[in-house]
Chains A and B, each alone.
Chain A
Amino acid sequence: MSAQITPPLPIPLLPVPLLSVKDIHKTYGGRIGCTDVSFDLYPGEVMGIVGESGSGKSTLLNCMAGHIPTDSGQVLFDTRDRGLIDTLTMSEPERRMLARTDWAFVHQHARDGLRMSVSAGGNVGERLMAVGARHYGDIRAQAVDWLGRVEIDEDRMDDRPSAFSGGMQQRLQIARNLVTGPRLVFMDEPTGGLDVSVQARLLDLLRGLVREMGLSAIIVTHDLAVVRLLADRLMVMKSGHVVETGLTDQVLDDPQHAYTQLLVSSVLQV
């Protein structure tokens, strides 16, 4: 008796999301910070989160990154060893390990993301040393390389960031975050608080890095020019809710929700 062998049915290859956010809900003493947020982010994708001040963008980002406690919901991340894992219920050591290896977080204010008393080279080298790099020459060479990629001269590498301009500090923060090749980067208003000309240069730089490295990122901003340039997809937030999502160009060129229309038109007037 021979078993009849049936060929396996072809299974459509669904890509595994890098990040899968489910029903994030966060209140501050009863007031909504953000609620009912769900989305998937696929490898190599850049998601923009836009909305007016107070709409819950930073709250959402900080919930996802584990910086603030979430009331309910899941943030599943495709970990290297165990696949999709809810990072909100992960043990703290695991989450901290993730935060210094596969994840990166770029703060709006560079001083929140830098060690101001440590040289630029040391700032870039920290993540390398955190994951076990113990060869000074190698660490320094990688720091030089990364400072170059964010257009900071090698001869400034032993200076402290307090001696840097705001734009340089922000570029340093980016280098410090990207040096270990994170698989997911969270950014909160990376160009906020900078002069317009400095913003443009930083934006150019970010776009180059995103393309070159195939970065997966979530970028919070209220500047539509930033998402137009960097984001593949867009989420529009209002009063803690996501009111519209879609491909960036679609949302910006053909906004469906009244609030998005307002947001886009108010920018056009500027």
Chain B
Amino acid sequence: MSDYNFAYLDEQTKRMIRRAILKGIAIPGYQVPFASREMPMPYGWGTGGVQVTAACLTPEDTLKVIDQGADDTTNAVSIRKFFEKTAEIAVTEKTGDATVIQTRHRIPEEPLGEGQILVYQVPIPEPLRFLEPRETETRKMHALEEYGLMHVKLYEDIARHGHIATSYAYPVKVEGRYVMDPSPIPKFDNPKMEMAAIQLFGAGREQRIYAVPPYTKVVSLDFEDHPFDPSKADHPCDLCGAEHTYLDEVIIDDAGGRMFVCSDTDYCAGRQAKGHRGRLSPTEEAAQ
């Protein structure tokens, strides 16, 4: 028995958050305001995501928490512990075993299925903020579908860098209507957003919740002559040999030696367990 209500928040607050979530699901990509609560952690730690997760969890759920694709970073560990303590739910590092996954900066490599919920931690929910700081104006732009400004941002990118240099929080249009910030995931993950699971986004400080229901169309914005490119590093993973995953670059010695490994540690470990090998795999016999 814990001293907390299940999943920390009181039932009335959870009900309020669930109403916002349902509204978000009913209007894909639309930012629903909600009365964000104080959580026993600082804002930068994903209080928005934590509140959404708290409102979704049932005692039967199994929770996975990742930060930059890893389950063992301080942020991921402390959020996981928080729910272990306040909700006494089962936790896992295995993507396939989780019913609720809270994430910061990544979408798991393993395709998610129906019955799973992916909860994103969002720092800045407003994709138009970059060029239009006035909240009243951005709200109007969403309402009237005035999204030309989003392309001005991409135009500026190309003018400055020769290509669309935005590589995180790459704006998308949801179901042909709302332009949405997918949170700071790499654009590599954008194509995965058309998925079978429910995607929920929580911004604590900004007090916004939005959602992408299963099988919703999610299109990354671009120009005809500069089409969206999810861009993939042209290396395989040095540990599991995967050629289709998002890789982190890791410095391995003082001499500037580097290796590339899957940022999704659970996925990489799963592949290695199945016998896949990469260039620097610790086993004697590397693949090829």
Q: Interface residues, chain A, CB within 8 Å of chain B?
A: 92-93, 96, 100, 115, 117-119, 121-122, 125-127, 129-132, 134-137, 139-140, 157-158
Contacts and interface: CB of A to CB of B under 8 A. Distances in A.
18 contacts: A93-B144, A96-B140, A100-B148, A117-B131, A119-B160, A121-B155, A121-B159, A125-B155, A126-B149, A126-B152, A129-B148, A129-B152, A130-B146, A134-B151, A134-B224, A135-B223, A136-B223, A158-B160
Given A134-B224, A135-B223, A118 B151 contact: no
Contact of B156 (A119, A132, A134, A135): A119
A118 B156 CA distance: 7
What interface size band does chain B fall in?
Answer: 10 to 19
What DSSP secondary structure best describes chain A's contact surface? helix
Contact of B146 (A96, A118, A134): A96
A65 B144 CA distance: 19
Given A118-B152, A119-B159, A119-B160, 15 more contacts: A96-B140, A96-B144, A96-B146, A117-B131, A118-B156, A121-B159, A122-B155, A129-B151, A129-B155, A132-B148, A134-B223, A136-B158, A136-B223, A139-B155, A158-B159
B37 interface: no
Contacts of B223: 134-136
A146 to B, nearest CB: 15
A102 to B, nearest CB: 16
A140 B152 CA distance: 11
Contacts of B160: 119, 158
Nearest to B144: A93
A129 B146 CA distance: 10
B288 to A, nearest CB: 41
Contacts of A125: 152, 155
Contacts of B156: 118-119, 122
Nearest to B224: A135
B129 interface: no
A122 B226 contact: no
A121 B160 CA distance: 11
